[in-house]
Amino acid sequence: MPYLKELTPIYLSVLSMRLSFGLVVFALPLYIGEKYLSVGIIAAAYPVAELLLVFPFGVLSDRYGRKVFLLIGLLLSAIDLPLFSLTRNTILLTLIHGIQGIAAASVMASSLAAVSDVAKESRRGREMGIYDLVNMAGYIIGFPLSGLVIDATKDMRSPFFVASLIAALGLIITAFLLPRDIGRSTMDLKTRLKIAFKGITGGREAVLLTVMWFTIMMFISFFLTFGPLIIRGMGGHHSFFRIGSYLSALIAILAITQPLYGYISDLIGRTKALLTGSISIFLLLITIYAWHAGFVKYHIAIPLIAILGLGSLMFSPAGLAFLADISKEGARGSFMGFYSFIMNLGNVLGPIMGGAFMSAFGPRDGISAMILLGAILTGSSVLIFMIKKKKEGSSGGYSLAYRLSGDIQNVFALVG
């Protein structure tokens, strides 16, 4: 079967899932109101459910194929989404959002493994970049669309119904266009689990992948959860469509670079691309914290943020392509499920910690605390990577400080 004919329905199923999620993510905190801790708890229910089930769904998709779990996730999402409109009770909304997380676990574990199954090794960086682009496109389109629907209907519940229709459309596309036999394996469960566990514990790249992805997803979930409330709190007259457009524009900058950076990782190698992205993320968080705390002036901070922001975007497509490279056929669902577990752990803790920090210290200081925590985590992961690199005998006699300074210079050369 032609290459694109297999990949296109996978990307469309992911897009429909993320687009429906984008509509809900924007509308839900506005629907609940400015109760930061309640918003954080409700928002965390989605990644908690995804966290618990993404690995089992990945394992099962190795056994029964990818298509059935894409269909289960989209069907469950289409049924669950309208239920948000029936209540503002925190417990019930947490339960409803948790069901949405189950649907996401089914779709995301199987779709990431399916792309790994179909994409050729020489093109995996680019294809994983496109996968990232499709994921983010759901938010890019979903945020302003959700705001537009609210402005047009004057009803905070309307995006939930639109999201349900989009998930149903994705279900139809997947049912008729995706081949049934993608990803089926006869490998025994014990072997698949060994392969997955080895991938998450072995090698210095595993340190970068686990800690960095945890931190990245923690910030993304925090940003997506509280972004609409933070922008509304800045003052001025902002329509819901305009607020959604602001958030969408930020994500679009990130999204459009992903296929390019994936292609670059195909050319320069995954490890160099991963380290470039990781160091850039660490320095980016340090710069944002210094600016937010008033230590660095605006005219200095903005150019640094722009340069380091571009460098940090290299991490995700290189990381996903690296996972696809080292995963073995027949165990990719299990393997990707393990890493999806790490990502979703960040999704779980991001809204909860952010909501707790903002409730305890206020919005401004709460944001500062989150940024500082992220800088500590990312800086530690880069340091551990360099120490492991030295122990593995790749230092060539140079000191750690010397090699680290050289890597940082290479980062600025690549992103500048």
pTM: 0.65
Cα separation, 217 vs 40, in Å, equals: 15
Of residues 227, 351, 211, 343, the one with CA closest to residue 281: 211
pLDDT of residue 112: 77
Range of the domain at 105: 3-182+189-415
| Dihedral over alpha carbons 351, 355, 361, 363 (to 10 degrees) | 80
pLDDT of residue 165: 94
* Number of structural domains in the chain: 1
Task: State the CATH number of the domain containing residue 148.
Answer: 1.20.1250.20
Cα separation, 41 vs 207, in Å, equals: 28
Cα separation, 393 vs 396, in Å, equals: 7
Q: What are the angstrom distances between the C-alpha of 294 and each of 289, 298, 301?
A: 8, 9, 10
- Both tokens assigned to 156: 């905070």
pLDDT of residue 229: 64
Of residues 110, 108, 324, 326, the one with CA closest to residue 199: 326
pLDDT of residue 405: 44
Cα separation, 157 vs 81, in Å, equals: 10
Cα separation, 368 vs 276, in Å, equals: 24
Q: What is the pLDDT along the chain (416 residues), one digit of tens a residue?
A: 455 667 788 888 888 988 998 898 888 888 887 677 777 788 778 878 887 887 788 878 877 888 888 999 999 999 999 999 898 888 999 999 999 989 988 888 788 778 877 777 667 777 777 887 888 788 788 888 888 898 888 888 899 999 999 999 999 988 888 776 665 655 555 665 565 555 555 555 565 677 777 887 787 778 767 766 666 655 555 566 766 676 677 677 667 777 888 888 888 887 788 888 889 989 998 998 898 888 888 888 888 988 888 888 888 788 777 777 766 665 566 666 666 777 777 877 887 888 888 888 887 888 888 888 888 888 888 887 777 666 655 444 334 343 444 444 444 444 44
Query: Which residue has 């979930």 as its token pair?
Result: 221
The vertex-225 CA angle with 221 and 219, nearest 5°, equals: 30
Q: Which residues of 304-329 are buried (b: 16+ CB within 10 A; e: fewer)?
A: bbebbbbbbbbbbbbbbbbbbebbee
**What string of DSSP letters covers 302-370?**
HHHHHHHHHHHTTHHHHHHHHHHHHS-TT-HHHHHHHHHHHHHHHHHHHHHHHHHHHHHH-HHHHHHHH
Q: What are the angstrom distances between the C-alpha of 298 and each of 184, 295, 303, 305?
A: 53, 10, 9, 10
pLDDT of residue 182: 67
